[in-house]
Structure 1
Amino acid sequence: MGGACDLSLGLEVEPLALVAVTIEAPCAAGGAAVLHHEGLDVSVLLDAEGRAETILPALAVQAAIRAEAGGQSAAAAVTVPEAARIDRAVLMWQGERGAELHAREFGADYGSPGHVWAGAPGDVEAALRGEGGMMLSLGDSRIPGARMAEVYTFPTGMAARSGAVALSIETPVAATTCGRVIEARTIQISPGVPAPLTRDLSLPVPGCEMEGEWLVLSDMLQGLTIAAR
C-alpha cells in the first residue's frame, strides 16, 4: 500500500508514437523530476503540488519509462505500436544549450518550408497526414543543470511523398559557446532497426575570434530515405 509521499507515474499513448506522462511527487513539490527512457533523460519542473505533465517520444514499441524525484523513483511501461513505423532523431544535452538539431526535408534550403528545427518546429497536423516531420523541445531550462533534448520525428510509415531528409547538428560560435567543449548525445530509431542507435558527442568550439561562424556536423545522424506509402 502506497504512502503519502510515494511517487507515481502515469502513461498514455498519443499519436506519432508520443507518450503523455503524468508525474505526482507530493513530497518533492516545487522541485524537479527526471524522466529516463532508452538513454533519453529529460528534466521536468514540478508544481506546488508536486505534479507535472509532459510528452516523451517513444524510442521503442515496448516503452519503459522511469521517473526520479525527491530521492524516490517509479517506473511504468506502455506499448506504442507506431514506434515501429517512424523515424526519430534525438539531440540531448545537460545545462546550457550549445547545439541544435536541424532537419531539411526533400531538398529544403535553410529558412524555407521543410527546414525543421526548434525555431520552426513543423506542423503536427501535417505530420499526422504524412506530409512532413516535426520537432519537439523537451526539458525545463529553469532547472539548474537541466537535462534537455530536441526530438525530430518523421512519420515514415504513412509518408505522402518520397525523398530524402538531411539531418545535422549545428553549433553557433557565439559568446555562450566559443572556447567551450559541447557535450551531447544523439539517439536515432528507424523502421526495421531493432534497437536505438546512441552516440556521444564531444565538440570543441573555436575561440571567440570566430564568433558568427557555425559548426555543422552532418555525420552524427543518419539521413533518412523516405518512400511514399
Structure 2
Amino acid sequence: MNSRASWFAGSCMVVCLFAASSPALCAPECGPSVSVEPVSAGLSRITIAASCFPSGRIVLRYDSLTLVRALDENGALTLLFDCYLGEKPPLKLTFPDGVEVQAQLRTIDLERVTKVALLWRGRANLDLHALEYASDFNDAGHVWAGAPSSRWQAEERHRRDKRGHGFMTTVSDGTSEGDQLEVYTFIHETGQASGAVTLALDYESRARTPQEPDSCGTGLYADLEYRVSVLRPSGGISRTRGSFAPLPCGQPSDQSARYSSKALPQLILTR
C-alpha cells in the first residue's frame, strides 16, 4: 500500500473511531429508495430518494415505454405515473451507476376507466384530441393538451349530466428525452345512455409556421411512427401502430385534413 493510501485508510479509521455513534461518516448510506402510492384514475405516485445522485438522470421502463427524468439537487423526485397498461407490468428504474430497482405499481379505479395512450419518439409534437359526445373543436367537451381538464372537472361534469367524462392524465410536447407519451383517461358512468367519444390525432409540430425542416420532405420525422394502446375497464388491452405519410416541404398543412380520426379508435359507450 502506498503512503497516500495508508494515510487515507488511517484517517478514515480515526474518524470512525472518533464518531463511533455515526458510522455513516466513513461509509455513507445513500442507496436509492423507491416508494409507490396508489392514486385514483389509474395513476401511481412514485417517490424516489437517491442522495448519491444529485441532479442525476434516471431511466424508467414500463413495458416498451422508456422515459428519462432528472432528479433534483438533493437526488429526489416525485412523479405521477400513468398506468396505461395496468398494474401488472413492473416499473423498472435505472440509476446513474447502473443499479436497477423494480417497483410494483399500485393504483385505484382501473375498473372504472378506459385509457387511450399515444407513444412516439423524437423531437416532434403529436397531440391526442378527445371530442366527447359530438363536441366540436374548442367546445367544452374537447379535451387535449391545450385544454386537459382534470379528474375534478370530469367528476363535476358527471354530476351535472350523469354521463362519463375524461381528461388528459399525461401530456408531452416532444422535448423530453426517451419516449413521448400522451394519455386520455375516460371515467365511466355505469348505466349511462349511449354515446361516443371521437379521438383524433394531430401532428402539431408539422403544421407550424415556419415549417420545421425535420417534419417534411426527407426530414428525420417526416414519416413519424407512433403506437397506440387502449386499456379497457375489463383489463383487456389492444395495441396498434401507425405512421404519417411524408409531405413535401413548403406545402402548407391542410387544416381540414390536419386531424386524423382514423389513427385512433373511437370509444362507443352503451348502457
TM-score bracket, normalised by the shorter chain, equals 0.7 to 0.9
CA distance in structure 2 between the partners assigned to 1:43 and 1:201 by the alignment: 24
**Is the aligned partner of 1:54 residue 2:79?**
yes
Distance 1:29 1:138, change over 3 A: farther
Worse-superposed segment, 32-41 or 180-189? 32-41
- Identify the residue that residue 93 of structure 2 maps to in structure 1: 67
SS at match of 1:112: coil
- Identify the residue that residue 22 of structure 2 maps to in structure 1: none
Worse-superposed segment, 110-119 or 25-34? 25-34
Q: Structure 2 regions of 5+ residues with no counterpart?
A: 1-27, 159-163
Deviation, structure 1 residue 112? 0.9
1:134 counterpart letter in structure 2: F
Distance 1:223 1:190, change over 3 A: same
Higher strand share: 1
CA distance in structure 2 between the partners assigned to 1:89 and 1:57 by the alignment: 11
Higher helix share: 2
Q: Which protein shows a greater Rg?
A: 2
Distance 1:165 1:139, change over 3 A: closer
Distance 1:69 1:204, change over 3 A: farther
What is the correspondence of 1:79-98 to structure 2 with a 5 Å cutoff?
Answer: 79-80=106-107, 82-98=109-125
SS at match of 1:133: strand
Question: TM-score scaled by structure 1?
Answer: 0.84
Distance 1:7 1:93, change over 3 A: farther
- Identify the residue that residue 21 of structure 1 maps to in structure 2: 46
Number of equivalent positions:
224
Deviation, structure 1 residue 192? 2.4
User: How big is the alpha-carbon RMSD for the aligned residues of Structure 1 and Structure 2?
Assistant: 2.6
Distance 1:209 1:136, change over 3 A: same
> What whole-Å deviation, never above 9, does each CA across 1:56-112 have from its counterpart, x for those lacking one?
122214452221221222111144352132110111223313321111100000111
- Identify the residue that residue 201 of structure 2 maps to in structure 1: 169
- Identify the residue that residue 182 of structure 1 maps to in structure 2: 224
Deviation, structure 1 residue 121? 0.3
CA distance in structure 2 between the partners assigned to 1:22 and 1:115 by the alignment: 32
CA distance in structure 1 between the partners assigned to 2:50 and 2:194 by the alignment: 45
What is the correspondence of 1:145-156 to structure 2 with a 5 Å cutoff?
Answer: 145-156=177-188
Deviation, structure 1 residue 139? 6.0
- Identify the residue that residue 213 of structure 1 maps to in structure 2: 254
